[in-house]
Amino acid sequence: MTPAPGRSRTVLVLSGLAVTLVLAIIAGVAFGAVPISPGEVVSAIAHALGGGERTLADAVVLDLRLPRVLLAALVGAALALAGVLYQALFRNPLADPYILGVSSGAGLGATVAMMALGTSYMMRAIGVPVGAFLGAGLTMVLVVRLASRRGRLDPTSLLLAGMAVSYILSALTSFLLVLDREQMSSVVFWMMGGLQNRSWEHVASLGVMLAIGSIAPALYHRELDLMLLGDERAGQLGVSVERFKMLALASASLVVAGAVSVSGLIGFIGLMTPHMVRLALGPRHRLLLPASVLAGAIVLVVADLLARVVLAPVEVPVGIVTALAGGPFFLWILLRKERTR
């Protein structure tokens, strides 16, 4: 009879993360070619919300910096959410959209859409996320098929199949780009995981996809817990396993597609964040899901800040920063797993 401490801890942890995220966003907006004080950032947001006169600083904050930083937060949140879902469904702490090849699939889908739909703004706004979603979904199906033997999914095969498919799809994307030299440089930069020159439209498009993709995980957090006991056991305890998997994988593909279509391939956020959060807070998804989403947002906002600071005024694509941090993290988990075996 001890539900009380769990509840208050949940509130404490989530509000702590939310405050940290707000501070990270303010810091992210404040830093740049023209430094803006945190106070100016807050007042600019207040002006935007409450009307009133706009200063030059306000314009820089609202038109240039804020969309970019908010986009970083949304992308981080989306990738972390997808990571939580993959790790639960495959019972594999190493699963994440990048390693499973889903990001590459979404990237290829988005690239094909961009080339096929021409330069019409409306066509791109709708077509690119749709292409990314189809690419992500089909890749997931392909990777699971490749890693299954007689209905059983081998964890190691899953990672190997994911990585192999990821290389193939990335190569195909590069091949397409060579064919179409005009677009090459912009798309290549996008593929490396960049957040430059993003607008409120990108924020809105990813915001909508993330919101839709969050519905099922929020409603079915207990099913995610049960999936960790294995498919058969989850079924015995009342989960419609196949249907739930479809729903959860579709949700994951949707948020990955949203993230990839606005920011290209940013790796390891979906791996690192849920893993660290689980170590700190335990595996129950009622807390793990929202905490990972907030932590993912914080991590990517901070990574983006680092990407701008390290070689300032030159910007490093944020995907390179996350890969530099995430690669060693991946190895650390892998070695830890081997040792405890």
Partner 1 sequence: MSASDRHDAVIASAGATGAAPGALEYVRASIGYGARIIVRDASFTVAPGEFVGLVGPNGAGKSTLLRAMTGGASVSSGDITFGGVSLVRMPERERARIVGVVPQTQLATFSFTARAYVEMGRHAHLGRLATPAAADAAIVDEVMELTDTARLAVEPVDELSGGDLQRLTLAQALAQQPRVLLLDEPTSHLDLNHALQVLELVRSLADGGLTVVGVFHDLGLAARYADRISIVADGGVTSPAPPASALDARVVSDVFGVRAVVRTDPVTGSVAVTPIVRGADLAPAVSGPRIGLVCGSGAGAGLMRRLARAGHPLYSGALNRGDVDHAVAEAVGAGMAELPAFGEVDDIVAADVRAGYAACACVVVCETPFGSANLPNLQAALDSGRPLVLVGEMDDQRDYAHGRAHALWERALERGAQRVDSEADVPGALGRCSGVEA
- Footprint on this chain of partner 1 (rule: CB under 8 A): 1-3, 91, 219, 222-223, 225-226, 228-230, 232-233, 235-241, 278, 282-284, 286
Rg of the Cα trace of the chain?
20
Shortest distance (Å) from residue 331 CB to partner 1: 20
Task: Please report the sign of the dihedral spanned by the C-alpha atoms of residue 69, residue 70, residue 71, residue 72.
Answer: positive
- Considering only CA atoms, which of 158, 155, 133, 156 is closest in space to residue 143? 158
- Considering only CA atoms, which of 172, 278, 263 is closest in space to residue 210? 263
Say if CB 237 and CB 228 are below 8 A apart: no
Residue 298 in tokens: 């914080």
Shortest distance (Å) from residue 70 CB to partner 1: 29
User: Which run of H or E residues covers position 235?
Assistant: helix 231-236
Return the number of the residue (131 or 270) whose C-beta is nearest partner 1: 270
Return the number of the residue (3 or 51) whose C-beta is nearest partner 1: 3
Shortest distance (Å) from residue 234 CB to partner 1: 9
Return the number of the residue (171 or 280) whose C-beta is nearest partner 1: 280
* Cα dihedral 18/26/301/36 (nearest 10): 180
Return the number of the residue (58 or 225) whose C-beta is nearest partner 1: 225
Return the number of the residue (93 or 131) whose C-beta is nearest partner 1: 93
Shortest distance (Å) from residue 114 CB to partner 1: 39
Q: For residues 211 and 325, what is the distance between their CA atoms, to the nearest angstrom?
A: 28
User: Other C-beta atoms within 10 Å of 212: how many?
Assistant: 13
Shortest distance (Å) from residue 243 CB to partner 1: 9
Q: For residues 191 and 166, what is the distance between their CA atoms, to the nearest angstrom?
A: 13
Return the number of the residue (139 or 292) whose C-beta is nearest partner 1: 292
Return the number of the residue (10 or 199) whose C-beta is nearest partner 1: 10
Shortest distance (Å) from residue 153 CB to partner 1: 13
Q: For residues 255 and 81, what is the distance between their CA atoms, to the nearest angstrom?
A: 8
Shortest distance (Å) from residue 221 CB to partner 1: 10
Q: For residues 156 and 253, what is the distance between their CA atoms, to the nearest angstrom?
A: 21
Say if CB 27 and CB 17 are below 8 A apart: no
User: Other C-beta atoms within 10 Å of 25: how many?
Assistant: 22
Return the number of the residue (17 or 241) whose C-beta is nearest partner 1: 241
Q: What is the DSSP letter of 317?
A: P
Q: For residues 189 and 192, what is the distance between their CA atoms, to the nearest angstrom?
A: 5
Shortest distance (Å) from residue 216 CB to partner 1: 11
